[in-house]
Amino acid sequence: MAKRSGTHYVLSAQLLGTGAPAYLTAAGVWSTCLQDAHTVLTDEERDRLLAQAEQQQRIVCDPYVFDVRVEPGGTIDPLSARERIRALGPTTRVRRPDPQSPVTLSRATPSPANGPRSDAGE
């Protein structure tokens, strides 16, 4: 088995109602904030919580665990880019901000494709 690079595990799943990522808290409820997650130290506790989460199919789907590092101040730091993106949101803006003032678009007058040219010699 490969050596773990994290210090703890976090249990995650998708909320059925919204599809948002969710993290199991110490109180046994699901939160959309990674920093609310319960961090697990042992493989036994990890396996027990994962089995319990798989029984909550009316709330979440596809539970799994991932490695995190818990910083000295208690901040949970996901080790994979995938989990960072899930916790922090999209890496690009979803939509451009609205302009401060309305933009007026000018409409060009269509010119006839095969009509006479105004600068042609008559």
CA distances from 59 to 13, 23, 50, 76, 112 (A): 10, 12, 14, 24, 62
User: What whole-number distance in Å separates Cα of residue 88 and Cα of residue 95?
Assistant: 16
**pLDDT for 1:** 45
With beta carbons less than 8 A apart as the criterion, state whether 74 and 65 touch: no
Residue spans of beta strands (DSSP E) within the chain: 8-15, 21-24, 30-31, 60-70, 76-78
Given a contact cutoff of 8 angstroms between Cβ atoms, the answer to whether 12 and 21 are in contact is: yes
The first and second tokens of residue 3, run together, are 């050596």
Residue 21 in 3-state DSSP?
strand
Domain boundaries, the chain: 8-88
pLDDT tens, position by position, 55-78: 998 999 999 999 999 998 899 999
Q: For residue 103, what pLDDT is reported?
A: 54
- Where b means 16+ CB within 10 Å and e means fewer, 5-18 reads ebebbbbbbbeeee
Predicted TM-score (pTM) above 0.75: no
**For residue 17, what pLDDT band results from cuts at 50, 70 and 90?**
very high
